[in-house]
Structure 1
Amino acid sequence: MHLGVFTLAMLYLVSLHLYRAYVIPEDILYSIDVSGPLMIITQKITSLAFSVHDGRHGNKDKLSDLQKRYMISRPPSLLEYLSYLFYFQGVLVGPISFYADYQAFIEGTYVSSKHLQNGSDNNNKYRMNGRPSPFDVVCYKLCVTLFWMGFHFTIKPLYPEMINADLAFIRSHGFLYRLWYMWISMLCCRAKYYVAFSLGDAICNASGLGFNGYDRDGRPRWDLVSNVHILGIEGATSFKTYIDNWNIQTAVWLRVVCYDRIPAQKRFFTFFLSAMWHGCYPGYYFTFVSGVPMSEVARKVRHRVRPYFLSSRVSQMLYNVITWVSTHIAMSYIVVPFTILHWEPTIVFYTFNTFWCVHLLCGLLFFIVPQIPACKSQEKATSLHQTQLDTSNSTKSSNKNKAE
């Protein structure tokens, strides 16, 4: 049943994406477009179906930690189901809250001894209050929203993203300036998502949804349904850090319904599902399909090259600066099609603006990186880790023999 629900929901969503992209003329304002809210509804329906399956029929020994966390043993009633699908805090643009967390919020069990004991022993005042006030965190997130809203309305008009695929702009500016423009224009495009994510998060927190226990210093955490960590994105020095801090709840949904269940080619199918969920414009598929090999190559480069820069603080800072610049250039490069959407401008951008440089570099690194000799410190760490594994396995085997 969970697979049937997933297939039906995705087919319906994709059909509306197709209608929006190829049936409605672009010069006509499509005032009844429901594809945005339907994307959130699709996440809720499919995640709930998988959670019910995991709770009632799943093999508990094979479930991932996320699947165990979100599994539910009792299907919701009709009232609970409709309440979950249409609760006002996230019905339009999210963020998604998984059913187990939403149920705990409605029933008040999210303020439990488990949550209240997450902090240090010095947070008795929080334990006594029980429900922490969201006032401070809501004010902070509203200030973040206003900042990025101002950034969007003042800076973005100066850097329209479609200029990246404009032949006149390409001919009249050098390669380095075009890279700079690409970087800034993609930052301007991220600003509107920062506004939506931060505002949606603040609305949830204002109602009490999003409380996630206390940290070690006794401060309440309000990140249960947070969709973005802006500082984590803007300061990212790797693909993984960048992706882990962007559209967080959607990434969790993709992991729960796809990544942890696919036996092979997990990364490809997860990225492809993400593209289908976003829409049917070619630009989405350019972005997400390109992200598969690039994230894999970035991981290999980090694993093989980073140990060479760990010998001193200066070299570590140099490595961080290089990886920060390269990460943001590469991410901006693959995200441009996501913003311009269509096939023709995407080809113009890659062919005439950037000469497919990141794709070519990615292919080159795929063959070069394995030839780089492992750093001696890395070899020592690997050897020590292997020794520890061997010792652990030997101990387990000895204990097993004694038991037998």
Structure 2
Amino acid sequence: MHLPLTVVPSSSAREQELSRFQNSLKKAPGEYCFVFALGYLIVCQITRVYIFDYGQYSADFSGPMMIITQKITSLAYEIHDGMFRKDEDLTPSQRDLAVRRMPSLLEYLSYNCNFMGILAGPLCSYKDYITFIEGRSYHVPRGEDGGAEPPCGGAEPSPNAAVVQKLVVCGLSLLVHLTVSNALPVEYNIDEHFRATASWPTKALYLYVSLLAARPKYYFAWTLADAINNAAGFGFRGFDRHGEARWDLISNVRIQQIEGSTSFKMFLDNWNIQTALWLKRVCYERTTWSPTIQTFVLSAIWHGVYPGYYLTFLTGVLMTLAARAMRSNFRHHFVASPPLKLLYDALTWAATQLAVSYTVVPFVLLSVQPSFSFYSSWYYSLHIAGVLVLLLFPVKKTQHGKEPHEHRRLSRAKKFDENSLGQNSFPTANNVCNQGAASAARHSSGKE
């Protein structure tokens, strides 16, 4: 009788199997969680749009699900960075936001479902939230702009002034929305009589004004959500150079910068700020090819399943790349002379506002037919102009083939890394006062 032979794997084979298993675990907190959470959100969006109320904006479950999806995926990648990646492989912001231990169930549910941001956000990092919950959010070093040191041992800063100011902005935004937006509907841009009789300057002016009138409802929602968090004591960012408390840690919009934007990037950087940071952290910084395109596509998927969203964000890719090329090739000719710089700013402001308005019309109209009707009334002029710009004015390269904006971004990242500051988070060491004294000494000596 012959006994069956058992093949015992060699030590190298066992090590390879173990390595493959560990690699699969490394991906689980990030990519797998991201795919599952985003997939579930897509199902929710499809259910809302194509089963319940197509073409209607409603405060239903899909809104909170969008925020929770951001939180779940952000925390998954922060755990991934903190527990499965080496520090030298992380960017400065990833290193600062990395979570080094697995949150408890209570911490996880509290972060995702706390009352302050469950309906409209804004998104915050897990470390910032835990710092606030543990009462350490006021123990921060001076602000990122070189502001004053916090008063060690003094009273905690009050959010009352910031809350009142933001509530005033909410009231004004709501008033403008209720009075102006109805008088200047975006749908009038595709009115047959208007398209047939209006001149090009009139069309451009009405396009800008109608989209300007559509923005206050977003200002209202985001500013109110920010004020709610501030009223609860969350959102303290440090002190400015005058020693005033800053309550903009999780602010989602900067109205003045938006309305005065002189570049497409400047507009995007100040609009829905926390979502832009989420897109950067979970997509732009982690992709190996076409990060701009992938980021815009992810933004469209996250917003919903209306075709207008995809038309807007695909057009946004073209506009962003074209604006980048124009800035790279022409801006340096105007910055030396103040009058030329003023002329450049005026021209780029007008071009940016027109391009943004042209891009986001499908976002408001939602459906395919009205969106293409609008673009055809403009003869796809800005699409054609964007393609021509990319063909005629390629983006100039710097060291190692990096684009200028990327080179500057890496330089800023290195600066942040040297100062141990992230983009949205503050250190939480217990010896803040000692750090502050040392920092003041460095500042007075001219080394900082």
The normalised TM-score by structure 1 is 0.87
Match of 2:218 in 1: 193
Match of 2:161 in 1: 136
Shift of the 117–36 alpha-carbon distance from structure 1 to 2, 3 Å rule, reads: closer
Match of 1:365 in 2: 389
Match of 1:4 in 2: 32
2:292 to 260, 267, 271: 267
Do the aligned partners of 2:143 and 2:237 also contact (CA within 8 Å) in 1?
A: no
Q: Does 1:58 align with 2:85?
A: yes
Q: Does 1:146 align with 2:171?
A: yes
Q: How does 1:85-104 map to 2 (within 5 A)?
A: 85-104=112-131
- Structure 1 counterpart of 2:382, one-letter code: V
After superposition, the CA RMSD in angstroms is 2.3
Q: How does 1:107-256 map to 2 (within 5 A)?
A: 107-114=134-141, 120=147, 126-256=151-281
Shift of the 88–17 alpha-carbon distance from structure 1 to 2, 3 Å rule, reads: same
**SS of the counterpart of 2:342?**
helix
Q: Does 1:106 align with 2:133?
A: yes
Q: Does 1:13 align with 2:41?
A: yes
Distance 2:137 2:199 in 1: 55
Q: Give per-residue Cα distances to partners, 1:179-233, cap 9 Å, x unaligned.
A: 1111111111111000011111111111111001112221211111000111110
* Residue 24 of structure 1, CA deviation: 2.5
Do the aligned partners of 1:286 and 1:337 also contact (CA within 8 Å) in 2?
A: yes
Query: Which range moves more in the overlay, 325-334 or 185-194?
Result: 185-194
**SS of the counterpart of 1:330?**
helix
Shift of the 360–120 alpha-carbon distance from structure 1 to 2, 3 Å rule, reads: closer
Shift of the 255–30 alpha-carbon distance from structure 1 to 2, 3 Å rule, reads: closer
* Residue 293 of structure 1, CA deviation: 2.2
Distance 1:116 1:176 in 2: 45
Distance 1:179 1:186 in 2: 11
* Residue 169 of structure 1, CA deviation: 2.4
Distance 1:59 1:166 in 2: 57
* Residue 299 of structure 1, CA deviation: 1.1
- Structure 1 counterpart of 2:139, one-letter code: S
Do the aligned partners of 1:119 and 1:213 also contact (CA within 8 Å) in 2?
A: no
* Residue 356 of structure 1, CA deviation: 0.7
Match of 2:109 in 1: 82
Shift of the 30–350 alpha-carbon distance from structure 1 to 2, 3 Å rule, reads: closer
Do the aligned partners of 1:118 and 1:213 also contact (CA within 8 Å) in 2?
A: no
Q: Give per-residue Cα distances to partners, 1:242-269, cap 9 Å, x unaligned.
A: 1110111001111111111101111111
Distance 2:395 2:328 in 1: 13
**SS of the counterpart of 2:245?**
coil
Do the aligned partners of 1:55 and 1:73 also contact (CA within 8 Å) in 2?
A: yes
Higher RCO (Cα < 8 Å, 6 or more apart): 2
1:42 to 63, 66, 69: 69
Do the aligned partners of 1:24 and 1:30 also contact (CA within 8 Å) in 2?
A: no
* Residue 113 of structure 1, CA deviation: 4.7
- Structure 1 counterpart of 2:112, one-letter code: L
Distance 1:313 1:64 in 2: 36
Distance 1:115 1:308 in 2: 37
The normalised TM-score by structure 2 is 0.79
Q: Does 1:309 align with 2:304?
A: no
Match of 1:393 in 2: none
Distance 1:309 1:30 in 2: 44
Distance 2:70 2:385 in 1: 35
* Residue 13 of structure 1, CA deviation: 0.5
Structure with higher helix content = 1
- Unmatched segments (≥5 aa) in structure 2: 1-27, 398-403, 412-448
Query: Which range moves more in the overlay, 174-183 or 227-236?
Result: 174-183
Q: Give per-residue Cα distances to partners, 1:19-56, cap 9 Å, x unaligned.
A: 222222548x7978311110001001111111111110
Q: How does 1:276-291 map to 2 (within 5 A)?
A: 276-291=301-316
- Structure 1 counterpart of 2:61, one-letter code: V
Do the aligned partners of 1:283 and 1:341 also contact (CA within 8 Å) in 2?
A: yes
Q: Give per-residue Cα distances to partners, 1:352-398, cap 9 Å, x unaligned.
A: 2x1111111111112222499x9xxxxxxx9xx9xxx9xxxxxxxxx
- Structure 2 counterpart of 1:302, one-letter code: R
Match of 1:356 in 2: 380
Q: Does 1:294 align with 2:319?
A: yes
Shift of the 275–118 alpha-carbon distance from structure 1 to 2, 3 Å rule, reads: closer
- Structure 2 counterpart of 1:144, one-letter code: V
Do the aligned partners of 2:236 and 2:249 also contact (CA within 8 Å) in 1?
A: yes
- Structure 2 counterpart of 1:86, one-letter code: C
Do the aligned partners of 1:119 and 1:218 also contact (CA within 8 Å) in 2?
A: no
